[in-house]
Each structure stands twice: as C-alpha cells, then as structure tokens.
C-alpha cells in the first residue's frame, strides 16, 4: 500500500502540491490525471523519494519514504519499476543492455547468462521477443516504450510507476501499450500508478481515477463516475483531452 498524507511541495513561489491525500491499495491500478503542469510528475517522484515534501508524509508499506536515508531508499526503490516520461533509452546500448541496466546497477550478482534469460523473459512479456541486439535507433516509438516497460519489469517489482506511457504515440500504439499495462497488472499482481493526460488510457486501464487540480486531489473514484460527473472542472478537462487525442 502507498499512502500519501497531506503533502505540500513548492518550488520557490510555485506552490505545486497543496495538501495531497491519496491511498493506493496493493494490487490496484490507479490513473492520475490533470492538466499539464499541475504536478502529476512531481507527485509520483515523491513516491520513490526523488523529491521530498515540504511537509506531509509518503508511506510505502508503512515506511515513511521521505525520512529514509540513502541505504533505505535504495532498498525501497528496488521494489519499484519506473517508466518515466520519455522512456529514455541509451542510444549506444543494445536493447538487452538497456533492459538489464537496473540489475547491473543493483549488483545483484547475476551471471551474464542469468541476465540474458531474464531479459528474454521480459521481452516476451512485452511482445518483443528476439529484440535483444537491436539498438534504440532501430525501434519505433511504440517499441521503445515496450523496451522501457521491460526495463521497468526486470527486477520483478511490486509497484510500477508510469509517467505518460502513451505520450507521443498514435492511437493504435497507445491502445496496445494500454492493453499491455492492463495485462501485466493482472498477470503479475503489481500495484500500478499511471499518470496520463489521455482519456483513452483512463478508460482502458483504470480501476480508480484521481484527478489533480490546484494542488489537490479534486476527484477520486471510478471512471464511470468521472465521465458522468456534472462538475464543470471535470467536464472541461475531459472535453479538452478528448479533442486533443
Ligand atoms: N525540479 C523542479 N524545480 C522547479 N520546478 C519544478 C521542478 N519540477 C517541476 N517543477 C514545476 O512544478 C510544476 C508541476 O510540474 P509537473 O509535475 O512536471 O507537471 P505535470 O502535471 O505536467 O507532470 C510545474 O510548474 C513545473 O515547472
Ligand atoms: Mg509530467
């Protein structure tokens, strides 16, 4: 379980998070939506201690992340997979080298044949079998996201954080990434947090939707409740994002 308890975060005069409260239960997929610049990325960076709140707490399985030292952070981060915005792959490395990076960094003591086996397994999971020796330049946008996803999965995480996983993809590609996220969530029983501005993703993957607005969680509930809401801010957001995508 992830608990975000009344967190505040400002950058200078920019008050980005103004009392965020959110509980994410084990095994659920929550989608976080909100206008560009409203603080979605800032919020999920707090979950793994990449940002520290000015006040409030972030707890993962009861442990307060914002009070952890480097060693404790390192351990908690091993339980997370990230697919951050841009899904940055290293151009000079092969797909296999990119995917195995978190394993190499965590010095888990795997042999190279064990690593190859794990990479092969994850590539199959994301429907890219045999892509080990390709370079990022040889991949389409959708394939790059899949490789990013395989990298996020390589340590068998309990939690996966996705920041705009379908941004920059065409609708068909987006749809197949959404399907994959949903399949993986069901199959691996992971807890997933998906940040998106894409209403189609909301419809495809969410168990629960949280909408951020003016530094707070403005709405939380099912996608049906969101779509059928007669709240003006929510309606405007939905209209805007559906026109764009
Ligand atoms: N490291 C940082 N330093 C200063 N300002 C930041 C930093 N990270 C984000 N911000 C600001 O916080 C606000 C929210 O950003 P972000 O969380 O990236 O929005 P989004 O909802 O689009 O993901 C923006 O105004 C952004 O400029
Ligand atoms: Mg963002």
Atom of ligand 1 nearest to the CA of 40: 21
Which ranges of 126-231 would DSSP assign to H, the alpha helix? 141-153, 171-188, 199-205, 223-227
Q: How do residues 213-244 score in pLDDT, each as one tens digit?
A: 999 999 999 988 998 999 999 999 988 876 55
What is the average per-residue pLDDT within 108-127?
91
- Report the pLDDT value the prediction gives residue 116, as an integer from 0 to 100: 95
Would you state the pLDDT for residue 107? 66
Please list, in sequence order, all residues whose beta carbon lies within 8 angstroms of the beta carbon of residue 117, skipping any fewer than 6 positions away: none
Band of the pLDDT at 172, cuts 50, 70, 90?
confident
Strand partners, 2: 24, 60
Q: What is the pLDDT of residue 176?
A: 85
How far away, in angstroms, is 44 Cα from ligand 2 center? Answer: 9
Cα(94)–Cα(199) distance, integer angstroms:
33
The sign of the torsion formed by the CA atoms of 104, 2, 210, 204 equals: positive
If you average pLDDT over every residue of the chain, what do you get?
A: 90
pLDDT the model gives residue 86: 65
Percent of the chain at pLDDT > 70 equals 96
Establish whether residue 214 lines the binding site of ligand 1, counting it when its CB lies within 6 angstroms of any ligand atom.
Answer: no
Nearest protein CA to atom 25 of ligand 1, as residue: 37
For a mutational test of ligand 1's pocket, the pick from 20, 36, 39, i.e. the residue with the most ligand atoms closer than 8 A to its C-beta, is 39
Cα–Cα dist 131/138, whole Å = 10
Which pLDDT does position 87 carry in this prediction? Answer: 64
- Helix axes of 141-153 and 112-125: crossing angle, nearest 10 degrees: 130
**Over the stretch 127-149, which tens digit does the pLDDT of each residue have?**
999 999 999 999 998 899 899 99
pLDDT in tens, 181-196: 888 888 888 999 999 8
Q: Per-residue confidence at 245, pLDDT binned at 50, 70, 90?
A: very low
Of 205, 210, 206, 204, the residue nearest 237 (C-alpha): 210
Confidence band of 120 (pLDDT split at 50, 70, 90): very high
Q: Tell me which residue of 134, 100, 105 sits closest to 117, measured CA to CA.
A: 100
CA-derived radius of gyration, the chain: 18
With CA atoms as reference, report the closest residue to 153 among 124, 111, 112, 114.
124
- The whole-angstrom separation of Cα 70 and Cα 78 is 13
12 lines ligand 1 (CB under 6 A): no
CB distance 215 to ligand 1 below 6 Å? no
Q: What is the mean pLDDT of residues 39-66?
A: 96
**41 Cβ closer than 6 Å to some ligand 1 atom:** yes
User: What confidence score (pLDDT) does residue 229 get?
Assistant: 93
CA atoms of 149 and 157, how far apart (whole Å): 12
Q: Is 45 in the pocket of ligand 1 (CB under 6 A)?
A: no
Cα–Cα dist 214/39, whole Å: 9
What's phi and psi for 9, nearest 5 deg?
-150, 125
Tally of residues, the chain:
245
């Amino acid at each position: 379980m992830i608990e975000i308890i009344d967190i505040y975060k400002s950058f200078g005069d920019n008050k980005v998070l103004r009392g965020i409260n959110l509980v994410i239960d084990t095994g659920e997929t929550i989608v976080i939506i909100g206008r560009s610049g409203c603080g979605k990325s800032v919020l999920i960076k707090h979950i793994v201690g990449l940002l520290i709140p000015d006040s409030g707490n972030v707890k993962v399985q009861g442990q307060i992340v914002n009070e952890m030292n480097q060693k404790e952070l390192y351990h908690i981060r091993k339980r997370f997979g990230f697919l951050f915005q841009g899904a940055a792959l290293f151009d000079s490395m092969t797909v296999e080298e990119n995917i195995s990076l978190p394993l190499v960094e965590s010095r888990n003591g795997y042999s190279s044949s064990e690593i190859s086996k794990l990479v092969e397994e994850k590539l199959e999971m994301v429907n890219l079998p045999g892509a080990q020796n390709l370079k990022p330049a040889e991949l389409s946008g959708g394939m790059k996201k899949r490789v990013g996803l395989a990298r996020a999965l390589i340590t068998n995480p309990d939690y996966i954080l996705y920041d705009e996983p379908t941004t920059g993809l065409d609708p068909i590609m987006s749809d197949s990434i959404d399907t994959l996220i949903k399949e993986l969530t069901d199959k691996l029983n992971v807890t997933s947090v998906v940040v998106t501005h894409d209403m189609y993703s909301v419809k495809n993957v969410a168990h629960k939707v949280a909408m951020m607005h003016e530094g707070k969680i403005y709405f939380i509930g099912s996608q049906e409740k969101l779509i059928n809401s007669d709240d003006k801010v929510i309606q405007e957001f939905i209209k805007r994002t559906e026109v764009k995508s």
